Amino acid sequence: MTFDKLISYLKLDKQEFLFQFNSHPNYPSALAFSDTLNFMGVRNDAYELDKEYWDELPEEFIAIVENSFSLVKKSGNSYMIYSDKTKVLNKEELHRQSSDFVLLFEKDEKSDHKPVVGFKPFLYTVFVIMLIYSAFYLTWYEAAFNLLSLIGVYISLEIFNQKFGNVSTVIGSICRDTSAQQNLNSCDKIIIQDKTSFFGLKFSDLSLIYFAGIAVLGLFLPATAFIIKGFTLASVMAIGYSLYIQAFVEKMFCRICLLIIAILAVQLLICFRFFESLIFNTAVFLLTIILWLIAFSTVLSLNHLLEEKESFKKSNAKNLRFKRNYELFKRELLDKERIDFQDNHTFSLGNKEARLHIAVISNPYCGFCKGAHDILEGILKKYPDEVSVQIRFNYSPERADEKYTSLISNFMSIYKNKSGKDFLNAIDDWFENKNEDKISQLAGTYSAQEDLGPLVRITQENSNAGLNFTPVFIINGYLFPEKYDREDIWYFIDELLEDEEF
């Protein structure tokens, strides 16, 4: 079985992967493949999924195509298949050649590409410094030229950000069509749907590169006047191209594009009206080339980085939509054998007659259990009359020290002698502060040694069911699926309450 293209696409070490896969006890099963991916740092969940649900899958998933583990990547109405080689299949061909096995994976991100904190204030500070310098050290027309360049940089940045889903109020206010109920119609069509591609960059990206370069060169006027004149003259071609696209291709005018054209036109007039024609300077020209290469490389890298981030966001959103499908959750929940506990009343809260019963197997000294109890408390607050809840603390007198026994005894006293709300508050206070004396004070005069026999029996029931780790959720006797995070229960609680078959 070979899947070179799949291993290459996931950027895994081929030799290491094959060694781990071949040495797995269940080789060459799907379990062996899934475990090997997990070992190699590719988190994944496996499903047996009928083809009717495949349209809800993320854009990338792994399936068994023609008896070989293959990466399936949606591409329009077709599917790219990466296995021992790359091929393209349509939907019908993919369904016919595949089993029902699918594996959803999440590639580890080596770095979290987040925008720099405070980027805009920093940018505005740079703008202000450049304007102050221009006002004090340059002529009025040179300062005006630099002001127009900074306006061009700002507008181009807003367009750049909007391309990746960030709404710009500035562009929105300029492009809004006040005569109709459409918003950003012409700007969307011309800017966002721009088919121009220069090394993967759109026309709006080139605008950002141009204005950024001109803004820096403008600080060195009049030494850079000759170079600036050349670039402003070249911008005439960009003006002509943009007007042609708007007038004859899209047959509508984009106001933000017209504003940029106006800036270019005014800069052109300033150049040829006020800038003196100086002698060509080779050093300045070489520095200009370096400057533009830096600007081009920076924008190209940012563009590629943000495109990858946007693609990941879309894929993750679709993955979550698939994961939150109640029918799939229910099927995973009912996949395990039902656990029938005899004791469902010790440490029981909520409506004991409710159809939906949630139990949490917990330990007061378990660090991870706080989150589970927070979820349980939230469910009780939101559905006090629709849910029955039981806290199943593990307690074994042979292994428990005096401090733990005293703590459990105090919990039992509070539960038996005070309200359910007081008991829940005591549990919450314990996981927040871990203060034995505070729990003893809450128990008050009832803090005498309690009969802990029910908790011993609960612990034995947990052990008999193989539930030795904490925390664990049990819903109507069914173990909460491992494929889901505990917090995911919030996505299904309403449907669990409404499901009369469950």
Q: What are phi and psi of 133, to 5 degrees?
A: -60, -45
Identify the CA nearest to 71 among candidates 14, 4, 15, 23: 4
How do the domains of the chain map onto residue ranges? Answer: 4-107, 119-315, 340-498
Using DSSP, state whether 70 is helix, strand or coil. strand
Q: In what order do the strands lie in the sheet with 60-65?
A: 42-48, 98-107, 60-65, 68-75, 78-82, 86-90
pLDDT above 90 for 290: no
Hey, what are 63's tokens? 């399936």
Single pTM value for the model: 0.49
Hey, what are 167's tokens? 């709404």
CB of 158 within 8 A of CB of 168? yes
Superfamily of domain 119-315: VKOR domain (1.20.1440.130)
Angle of CA points 272, 279, 224, to nearest 5°? 65
CB of 142 within 8 A of CB of 221? yes
pLDDT above 50 for 73: yes
- pLDDT tens-digit series, residues 17-64: 776 676 565 677 787 788 778 777 787 788 888 888 888 888 888 888
pLDDT above 90 for 439: no
Amino acid type, 380: L
Identify the CA nearest to 406 among candidates 452, 373, 459, 369: 452
pLDDT above 70 for 82: yes
Mean pLDDT throughout 395-424? 86
Mean pLDDT throughout 411-427? 89
Q: Tell me what pLDDT residue 117 has.
A: 36
Distance of alpha carbon 414 from alpha carbon 429, whole angstroms: 13
pLDDT above 90 for 497: no
- pLDDT tens-digit series, residues 181-223: 333 445 666 665 566 666 667 777 788 888 888 888 888 888 8
Preceding omega of 454 cis (within 30 degrees of 0):
no
Identify the CA nearest to 222 among candidates 281, 262, 163: 281
Distance of alpha carbon 459 from alpha carbon 230, whole angstroms: 83
CB atoms within 10 A of CB 379: 19
CB of 38 within 8 A of CB of 119? no
Q: Name which CATH class applies to 4-107.
A: alpha beta
Q: Tell me what pLDDT residue 167 has.
A: 52
pLDDT above 80 for 331: yes
CB atoms within 10 A of CB 445: 7
110 — pLDDT class (breaks 50, 70, 90) = very low
Mean pLDDT throughout 361-375? 86
- Count of CA atoms in the C-beta half-sphere (13 A) of 123: 15
334 conformational bin, left if phi > 0, alpha if psi -120 to 50, beta if neither: alpha
CB of 52 within 8 A of CB of 37? no
CB of 246 within 8 A of CB of 299? no
Distance of alpha carbon 6 from alpha carbon 86, whole angstroms: 9
Distance of alpha carbon 46 from alpha carbon 102, whole angstroms: 6
pLDDT above 90 as % of the chain: 7
Q: Tell me what pLDDT residue 480 has.
A: 92
Identify the CA nearest to 451 among candidates 400, 413, 401: 413
Using DSSP, state whether 80 is helix, strand or coil. strand
Entry field: residues in the chain: 502
Mean pLDDT throughout 465-488? 87
Q: Tell me what pLDDT residue 54 has.
A: 87
Same fold for the pair 4-107 and 119-315:
no
Give domain 340-498's CATH architecture.
Answer: 3-Layer(aba) Sandwich (3.40)
Counting beta carbons within 10 angstroms of the beta carbon of residue 242, is it exposed (0 to 12), middle (13 to 18) or buried (19 or more)? Answer: buried
Q: Tell me what pLDDT residue 387 has.
A: 92
